[in-house]
Amino acid sequence: MTDVTVPLTTKKDWTSDQEVRWCPGCGDYGILLAVQQLMPDLGVRPENVVFVSGIGCSSRFPYYMNTYGIHSIHGRAPAIATGVAVARPDLDVWVITGDGDALSIGGNHLIHALRRNVNLTVLLFNNQIYGLTKGQYSPTSELGKVTKSTPYGSVDHPFNPLSVALGAEASFVARTHDLDRKHMIETFRAAHAHRGASFVEILQNCNVFNDGAFEDITGKEHRPEMLIPLEHGEPIRFGEGGHRGVVMGTDGQLRIVEVDDVGEEAILVHDVHRADPSLAFALSRLSSSVHEPTPIGVFRDVDRTEYASAVQHQLMAASAKGPGDLGALLRSAGTWQVG
């Protein structure tokens, strides 16, 4: 929650004294720097911020922030963060996770935190590999991916993290990448400003075990023709001079076209506040791999009752009725004798 009385801070105030221990050249450094540079602008106090992580390279993140932090257990960060956010709704709670941590063992915890609309800012570092355990395939690795655990190529169909989040009806969903600090900062700012569950996928390079996985779309020379910027209220266009765009066919499918072939009036106008998540979901499916033009930015940003507020409302209503009778509840039917 924003505190208007918070004293001015700098990046230094948000940076811990711990040595950063990621491989040289890892994309995690860029993400950490973006968050540390953003925090002074959010109007929050370091002592009112909690970073919760699971297990993985990304999950060392809380050590490097001069805030409260919990380096928890594999996949359980959303569950632990839910407890923090409900018990202390006055705190800013961030979840730092990776594609393996969040979408494998932690998949169930993630989708329920999103569907409940817990007031969390979830940053998912997606490098399409298990980095900490030295290069096994992950839930986002592409079909045919050869790794230590799939020597003949993966036969698992990969998750699309944004599609998973939108399928759980997360109220804020976005994508950014580790090579554009400005875009990361603005995306994280928007996610933090949202009241409810915010989910941000960050395309993050693992230069040791999956180097260049996103090069075809995030490489500087490729971005104009391969990244599709999503801006609320604007036609979805990209490429040099905006020569390409996205249209919806009569069959409801989204397609990429040359604007000159269809006319600008045919180009789909982006609406992040659309209540129905189906269009945002369709945008998340526009690219079938990271070698095709890929949407980036905020896909969805809608208002929905936040979980902790609903819980607190129920508690207040129950308190107004007076104390309950636990003994009566324990004896309220459903009992039987054995033998």
Task: Look at the chain and count its residues.
Answer: 339
Give 332's pLDDT tier (boundaries 50, 70, 90).
confident
Looking at the structure, tell me whether residues 263 and 282 fall in a common domain.
no
Q: Is residue 100 part of a domain?
A: yes
Question: What is the value of pTM for the model shown?
Answer: 0.94
The tokens for 144 are: 């045919």
- Which residues have C-beta within 8 Å of that of residue 165, sequence separation ≥ 6? 114, 173, 199, 201
Interval 263-278: pLDDT, tens: 999 999 999 999 999 9
Interval 20-69: pLDDT, tens: 999 999 999 999 999 999 999 999 999 999 999 999 999 999 999 999 99
Percentage of residues in the chain with pLDDT exceeding 90? 90
Looking at the structure, tell me whether residues 254 and 191 fall in a common domain.
no
pLDDT number for residue 325: 86
Looking at the structure, tell me whether residues 247 and 146 fall in a common domain.
no
Q: Is residue 5 part of a domain?
A: no
Looking at the structure, tell me whether residues 50 and 168 fall in a common domain.
yes
Q: Where residue 48 sits, what CATH number does that domain have?
A: 3.40.50.970
Looking at the structure, tell me whether residues 38 and 70 fall in a common domain.
yes
Distance CA 171, CA 231 (A): 17
Q: Which amino acid is at 196?
A: G
Domain count, the chain: 2
- Mean pLDDT computed over 160-182: 98
Looking at the structure, tell me whether residues 132 and 265 fall in a common domain.
no
Looking at the structure, tell me whether residues 117 and 265 fall in a common domain.
no
Q: Is residue 327 part of a domain?
A: no
Interval 109-158: pLDDT, tens: 999 999 999 999 999 999 999 999 999 999 999 999 999 999 999 999 99
- Mean pLDDT computed over 269-289: 96
Looking at the structure, tell me whether residues 241 and 147 fall in a common domain.
no
Give 1's pLDDT tier (boundaries 50, 70, 90).
low
Looking at the structure, tell me whether residues 156 and 262 fall in a common domain.
no
Q: What residue numbers bound the domain in which 224 lies?
A: 11-234+273-313
